[in-house]
Amino acid sequence: MTDTTRFADHGVLITGAARGIGAAVAGRLAEEGARVLLTDRDGPEVERTAARLRGRGLVTEALTCDVAHRESVEAAVARAVEVFGSLDVLVNSAASCSPDTELFEDGPDEAWARDLDVTLTGAYRCCRAALPHLAATGRGAIVNIGSVNGLQDFGNQAYSAAKAGLGSLTRTLAGHAAPRGVRVNLVTPGTVRTSAWQGRDAELEAIRPLYPLGRVGEPEDIAAAVAFLASRDAAWITGTTLTVDGGLTAVHTGFRAALDHRREA
pTM score > 0.75 for this model?
yes
Out of 58, 159, 162, 243, pick the active-site residue.
159
Residue 13 β-bridge partners = 37, 90
Distances (CA, A) of 116 to 108, 112, 122, 236, 262: 13, 6, 8, 30, 43
User: What proportions of the chain, in percent to the nearest 5, are helix, strand and coil?
Assistant: 50, 15, 35
**Confidence check: pLDDT of 2 > 80:** no
Q: For residue range 162-179, list pLDDT tens digits in order.
A: 999 999 999 999 999 999
Phi, psi of 63 (to 5 degrees): -150, 135
% of the chain beyond a pLDDT of 70 = 98
**Confidence check: pLDDT of 135 > 60:** yes
Q: Residue ranges of the domains in the chain?
A: 11-264
Residue 263: band (very low, low, confident or very high) from pLDDT cuts 50, 70, 90? low
Q: What is the pLDDT at residue 1? A: 60
**Confidence check: pLDDT of 3 > 80:** no
- Residues 155, 99: contact at Cβ < 8 Å? no
**Confidence check: pLDDT of 261 > 80:** no
**Confidence check: pLDDT of 111 > 70:** yes
Q: What is the pLDDT at residue 260? A: 75
Helix or strand holding residue 232 (H, E):
none
Q: What is the pLDDT at residue 264? A: 65
Q: What CA–CA distance (Å, rounded) separates 252 from 27?
A: 33
**Confidence check: pLDDT of 216 > 70:** yes
**Confidence check: pLDDT of 265 > 60:** no
Q: Does domain 11-264 have CATH number 3.40.50.720?
A: yes
Q: Is 163 a catalytic residue?
A: yes
Distances (CA, A) of 83 to 5, 77, 80, 86, 255: 19, 10, 5, 8, 53
Going by C-alpha positions, the residue among 74, 51, 52, 79 that lies closest to residue 63 is 79
Q: Is 124 a catalytic residue?
A: no
Give the other-Cβ count within 10 Å of 195's Cβ: 12
**Confidence check: pLDDT of 262 > 90:** no
Out of 10, 41, 114, 163, pick the active-site residue.
163
